Copies of this chain bind each other. A is one copy, B any other.
């Protein structure tokens, strides 16, 4: 019999670990002195401890190990568990490799520019949603603002407040043509409302599909200043080997006040490929 200290030395582990495994029922001492509570381990228990380490190395949680050790799992289930583990570990590797690429892109950027310039661009997924909007091709930002004002008035007086989401503008053109902007102007909504007629078209609901990888950043100020944010995203995207797709979105974070366009806060969203 070995005391916990002796056993911990031959096993190259801490006594704390052995007490922890005792408590979890992973590795009970061969005998415990009833008077003093001293734990005594048999030399042969080292083998079980090694098996525990093998399973831990494979990525199993401690709680999952006792049934595996005590042969209460048939080979097929075990195979399933191992494949589950394989999948999880492969995912972890993918995530960490992406992280590594991000870090290296930032280091390169630091060497290039001396600071982290596009440091508020994140990538996330956007769920499918319902958009209640009108699609028009306009020749200027000012023209767009006029339509935007009309849409706001029409929608806010018609759609109940708790069904109403954010104001959004989708730009459908693959390339940027300042005098022919193919825009969709409206609001995200919960339930699809009935269409509303405007002078020159309909505000109608439609489903916009989920976007899996969407680069997102925040812009402050009127739409004329979009290109500043766009440039940040472009730099970000280029450094990581993506390409920007369409439609891009401008989603208004705070309710838009047409009287003070310079205080607008807009989330610019760029689908990536």
Tell me if A10 and B267 are in contact (CB < 8 A). Answer: yes
Cβ-neighbour of A103 out of B2, B58, B122 (below 8 A): B58
**Is A44 an interface residue, CB under 8 A from the partner?**
yes
* Residue A114 lies at the interface, judged by CB distance under 8 Å to chain B: yes
On whether the beta carbons of B96 and A267 are closer than 8 Å, the reply is no
A231 to chain B, nearest CB (A): 16
Tell me if A14 is interfacial: C-beta within 8 Å of chain B: no
Chain B nearest CB: distance from A131 CB in Å? 16
Contact B93 A97 (CB under 8 A): yes
Residues of chain B lying within 8 A (CB to CB) of residue A50: 120-122, 216-218
CB pair A90 B99 closer than 8 Å: no
CB <8 Å contact, A107 and B83 = yes
Query: A124 on the interface (CB 8 Å rule)?
Result: yes
Q: A254: nearest residue on chain B (CB-CB)?
A: B43
Known A-B contacts A220-B44, A253-B46; the reply to A82 vs B54 at CB < 8 A is: no
Interface size counted on chain A using CB atoms at 8 A:
57
Chain B proximity of A129: nearest CB distance (Å): 12
The count of identical subunits is 2
**Cα–Cα distance between A206 and B116 once the two chains are bound (Å):** 55
A53 beta carbon closer than 8 Å to chain B: yes
**A130: interface (CB < 8 Å):** no
Contacts of A122 in B (CB 8 A): 50, 53-54, 57
Residues 85-102 (chain A) with a chain B CB within 8 angstroms: 85-86, 89-90, 92-93, 96-97, 99-100, 102
Query: Does A240 touch B at the CB level, under 8 Å?
Result: no
* A:191-248 near B, CB below 8 Å: 216-218, 220
Residues of A within 8 A of B (CB): 2, 10, 12, 42-44, 46-48, 50-51, 53-55, 57-59, 75, 78-79, 82-83, 85-86, 89-90, 92-93, 96-97, 99-100, 102-104, 106-107, 110-111, 114-116, 119-122, 124, 166, 216-218, 220, 251, 253-254, 265, 267
- 14 new A-B contacts, CB < 8 A, other than A47-B218, A50-B217, A57-B102, are A10-B251, A12-B124, A42-B254, A46-B218, A46-B265, A48-B120, A50-B121, A51-B120, A54-B120, A57-B99, A57-B122, A58-B102, A79-B110, A86-B107
